[in-house]
Amino acid sequence: MKHVAPPPNLDHVTPRDKAEILSQALPYIRKYHGKTIVIKYGGNAMTDPALQQDFAEDVVLLKLVGMNPVVVHGGGPQIDEALARIGKKGTFIQGMRVTDEETMGVVEWVLGGEVQQDIVSLINAAGGKAVGLTGFDGGMIRARKLRMQDKDDPSKEHDIGQVGEIESIDPSVVKALQDDAFIPVVSPIGFGASHESFNINADLVAAKLAEVLKAEKLMMLTNTPGVLDKSGQLLTDLTARRIDELFADGTISGGMLPKIAGALDAAKSGVNAVHIIDGRVPHAMLLEILTDQAYGTMIRSH
């Protein structure tokens, strides 16, 4: 049985203050009514029971006030745990998980089964109607094998097994669910030309899905306050040009690379705003969408 945190006690807030808070959210609710918001769910928000609860409530509230949330989730720590249970150690090359056939079986079972169903249950318990999908459903995510160049010697390629890159996304199954009041929860598993499975980076799936759905916003929950400069200060607003500079001087590196690269592609392809927000802050997503306060880094194409 999951631990469910009690709702915060708001007895100290006067009815007038509560009304004020709600009325301030109204312009944002009006502005984003009927719009699609793609949410990449990961990090602490996904493993801390109180934050899981906050996340589920936020998603349900966004749906109830007329927005269309779509959740894409990762699950690296859960995959490592499952591999350890069968006595297999995860191997990584240049930050990417080497995925042989046995590992892919575990990835499918963990992402498309365990993790996905946990998220669906959480959202349903909070009063929503969530439906789990993988890239196979409705032929949604067509992928091909990722060819990974060696970072020091571009003429050399690493074979990392069933890791894919996105060839195309057909969002019709997601649109059909949205129109029917459901909240889609997508696992980042795609299929190849011979219907083989591919494990795909969840940040890239979220970014591409936001692009093809013409989403109003792409929200990426992380374990950091957002994108930080070299001295650890939060950069609240980034343009494409500034991001190129941060890539070049090594400020953005490691796990932030695919996140920012995907975010930038989405911004350049018509997603109005991409937010990288701190998933460790309770209700960070609502605060970002329904207030003027910046709770992370916003990325714009220009």
Domain boundaries 34-300, CATH class: alpha beta
Diameter over CA atoms, the chain: 66
Start-to-end Cα distance in the chain: 47
| Domain positions in the chain | 34-300
In tens, the pLDDT along 65-84 reads 999 999 999 988 899 899 99
Over the chain, what is the mean pLDDT?
88
Is the pLDDT assigned to residue 3 strictly greater than 70?
no
In tens, the pLDDT along 176-204 reads 998 889 999 999 999 999 999 999 999 99
Work out the number of other CB atoms within 10 angstroms of the CB of residue 28.
17
For the entire predicted model, the pTM comes to 0.90
In tens, the pLDDT along 140-160 reads 999 999 988 888 888 899 899
Residue 187 has a pLDDT of 97
Residue 235 has a pLDDT of 85
In tens, the pLDDT along 243-268 reads 888 888 877 776 677 778 888 888 88
Binding-site residue positions: 75-76, 97, 199
Is the pLDDT assigned to residue 1 strictly greater than 50?
no
Residue 186 has a pLDDT of 98
Instruction: Please give the radius of gyration of the chain, using alpha carbons only, rounded to the nearest integer.
Output: 19
If you search the block for the tokens 């949604």, which residue do you land on?
Answer: 140
Binding-site residue positions for substrate: 75-76, 97, 199
More confidently predicted of 221 and 22: 221
